[in-house]
């Protein structure tokens, strides 16, 4: 399984570009489109995404704001683009590299939970970074790993089926059980299991969340892309039609 090729193809579907565009220098501008198979993240009436895999930058936006964004980015560098006033929210995403086999803390029991039983976890609050708490979610919870101490759940790593080939992982550990390697151990086990099932596990976090990024690095995940997932296009400063 060529993980990077699968990721590039999916991101190209999401942004309505070609996988080769991620290797181009400078900027590639694309009109946002509801392509079949795109990851079903919500889109506002004015939709804007900007993504780099380390070289060029692909910008995807609805037609009403695309010319404005193109004008604003003229002559800008990649780093300048991600600091523009209309940028709101950045994510850093990781894919498997060399996955480590990490030990779980003593006195913690680990078990996998399959999709039909994941809804039972919704009765336990406090793990919203790991599971959706919505049986009708467009990106359904597909697999989870739970950690229990004295019979109570203290940590969950969950995977949502974001598209046919890519499952996104999330992690939540109760405060009293953090900083002991549990989060990394759960994500490592979930990553291995997803790979065994022939799917691509990926892990996302805010660019400011260094704690979460350290989890990814300990597991053996490598950064693959950075994206802007939301823009500000209200008010006079950034309103292209106002």
C-alpha triplet 210, 213, 219: angle, nearest 5°: 145
Residue that finishes a domain, picked among 62, 78, 95: 95
Q: Could you read off the pLDDT of 151-199 as tens digits, one per residue?
A: 999 999 999 999 999 999 999 999 999 989 999 999 999 999 999 999 9
Residues 59 and 16 in one domain: yes
Whether 21 and 33 map to the same domain: the answer is: yes
Task: Examine residue 225 and state whether it is found in any structural domain, yes or no.
Answer: no
DSSP reduced 3-state for 124: coil
**CATH number for position 133:** 3.40.630.30
Mean pLDDT in residue range 51-65: 95
What is the sign of the dihedral through the CA atoms of 15, 7, 142 and 49?
Answer: negative
3-state secondary structure of 191: helix
**Is there a domain that residue 223 lies in?**
no
State how far the Cα of 205 lies from the Cα of 91, in Å rounded to an integer.
6
**Does residue 196 lie within any of the structural domains?**
yes
Compute the distance between CA of residue 6 and CA of residue 65 in angstroms, rounded to an integer: 29
Work out how many domains the chain is built from and give that number: 2
Does residue 229 form part of some domain?
no
pLDDT mean across residues, the chain = 92
Domain co-membership, 8 together with 31: yes
The answer on 89 and 22 residing in a single domain is yes
Q: Tens digits of per-residue pLDDT, 86-103?
A: 888 899 999 999 998 899
Range of the domain at 24: 3-95
Is residue 27 in a domain?
yes
Residue with tokens 């080939």: 165
Q: Is the pLDDT at 241 greater than 50, yes or no? A: no
Contact 142, 161 (CB under 8 A): yes
What does each C-alpha distance from 41 to 3, 10, 125, 138, 184 come to in angstroms? 21, 13, 23, 8, 26
Asked if residue 137 and residue 60 are part of one domain, the reply reads no
- Reading the block at residue 128, the tokens are 């919203």
Does some domain include residue 226? no
For residues 51 and 39, state if they share a domain.
yes
pLDDT for 200-236, tens place per residue? 999 999 999 999 999 999 999 999 999 997 777 763 3
Q: Which of 33, 61, 95 is the last residue of a domain?
A: 95
Same domain, 103 and 80: no
Q: 104 and 194 in one domain? A: yes
């Amino acid at each position: 399984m060529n993980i990077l090729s699968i990721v590039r193809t999916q991101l190209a579907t999401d942004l309505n570009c070609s996988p080769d565009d991620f290797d181009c220098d400078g900027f590639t501008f694309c009109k946002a489109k509801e392509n079949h198979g795109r990851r079903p993240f919500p889109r506002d009436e004015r939709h804007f995404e900007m993504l780099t895999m380390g070289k060029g930058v692909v910008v995807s936006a609805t037609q009403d704001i695309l010319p404005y964004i193109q004008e604003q980015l003229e002559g800008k560098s990649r780093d300048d683009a991600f600091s523009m006033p209309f940028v709101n929210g950045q994510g850093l995403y990781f894919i498997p590299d060399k996955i480590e086999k990490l030990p779980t803390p003593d006195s913690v029991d680990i078990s996998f939970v399959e999709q039909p039983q994941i809804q039972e976890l919704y009765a336990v609050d406090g793990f919203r970074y790991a599971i959706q708490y919505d049986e009708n979610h467009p990106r359904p919870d597909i697999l989870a790993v739970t950690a229990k101490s004295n019979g109570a759940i203290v940590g969950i790593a969950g995977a949502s089926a974001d598209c046919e080939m890519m499952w996104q992982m999330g992690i939540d550990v109760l405060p009293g059980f953090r900083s002991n390697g549990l989060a990394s151990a759960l994500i490592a086990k979930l990553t291995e299991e997803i790979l065994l099932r022939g799917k691509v596990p990926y892990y996302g976090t805010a660019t400011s969340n260094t704690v979460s990024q350290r989890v990814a690095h300990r597991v053996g995940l490598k950064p693959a892309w950075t994206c802007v997932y939301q823009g500000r296009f209200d008010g006079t400063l950034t309103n292209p039609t106002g």
